[in-house]
Amino acid sequence: MNHLFSTFISLLFPSRCPICRTFLDRDMMCDPCRTNMTLLADLIRQEGSESVDLFYSLYPYGNASVKTLLFAMKNKGHRNALAFVSEQMARHIRQDSFLSGVSLVTYAPRRPGEKQRYGFDQAQLLARKIAARLSLPCIPALLRKPGGKKQRGLTGEERALNVKEKFIANPHYDLAGNTVLLIDDVITTGSTVKECASVLKLHMGVHKVYAFSFTSPSIQTDV
């Protein structure tokens, strides 16, 4: 009965590749798109500045397939997009030696207005999936104060001012001495993750923060 029901649901809502929209029988992405994304993956590690100890990013910013996946996660909460991206990010985290010191995963929470509008927080969904794949806890360590403008369209300086004191420590958690993996779908100028890392360190006693995003224009191999 369960099988019949799931077959019925899959006929009504067939699964599609999050990039090219091809119908899928199985898996979360069609074979050509998976091959393309596997070739595009390139873990970039950059020494941090201020509160973030290390920045990581996996996919080149601006690539058409990467943009499509980012849009699918951010605006649609596309299940296959989140599953594929979390799989790839978790795989590369496992391969990099820094994981041995990481004890928990958290994320930069989405603006309350956006979360209400879209019905989900893509960074939270991504962080949860990555944490599950790594067998680590995903903790909502940060809370976002209401208000604040959209980051898009603002200059770097305006972004830094806009996020200032927008995040607060979740009083339910004591993270003193922990090394935290901070997940975001995209790190644009880095002002959001730096602010999050400051709160984690100054108000929660976190030892180290590693920020890891699916893609980022500000994390470059030559820096």
Q: How far is the CB of 30 from Zn ion (least distance, A)?
A: 3
Q: How far is the CB of 65 from Zn ion (least distance, A)?
A: 9
Binding segment (CB under 5 A) for Zn ion, from list 9-17, 54-62, 168-176, 203-211 = 9-17
In whole angstroms, give the CA distance from residue 63 to residue 106. 27
Q: How far is the CB of 22 from Zn ion (least distance, A)?
A: 5
- Residue 117: CB atoms within 10 A of its CB come to 10
Q: Does residue number 81 form part of the binding site for Zn ion (CB under 5 A)?
A: no
Pattern 11-50, Zn ion, x by CB under 5 A: ------x-xx-x-------x--x-----------------
Q: How far is the CB of 82 from Zn ion (least distance, A)?
A: 16
Q: How far is the CB of 80 from Zn ion (least distance, A)?
A: 10
Question: For Zn ion, which is the closer residue by CB, 20 or 202?
Answer: 20
What distance, in Å, lies between the first and last C-alpha atoms of the chain?
Answer: 57
Q: How many residues bind Zn ion (CB under 5 A)?
A: 6
Residue-wise DSSP of the chain: -HHHHHHHHHHHS--B-TTT--B-SSSSS-HHHHHHHHHH---EEEE--TT-SEEEEEE-TT-HHHHHHHHHHHHH--HHHHHHHHHHHHHHHHHSGGGGG--EEEE-PPPHHHHHHHSS-HHHHHHHHHHHHHT--B---EEE-S----STT--HHHHHHHHTT-EEE-TT---TT-EEEEEEEE-SSSHHHHHHHHHHHHHH--SEEEEEEEE-SS--TT-
Pattern 161-190, Zn ion, x by CB under 5 A: ------------------------------
Which residue has tokens 């649901």?
9
Q: Does residue number 66 form part of the binding site for Zn ion (CB under 5 A)?
A: no
Question: For Zn ion, which is the closer residue by CB, 36 or 151?
Answer: 36
Question: For Zn ion, which is the closer residue by CB, 215 or 216?
Answer: 215
Q: How far is the CB of 16 from Zn ion (least distance, A)?
A: 8
Question: For Zn ion, which is the closer residue by CB, 19 or 209?
Answer: 19
Q: Which residues bind Zn ion (CB under 5 A)?
A: 17, 19-20, 22, 30, 33
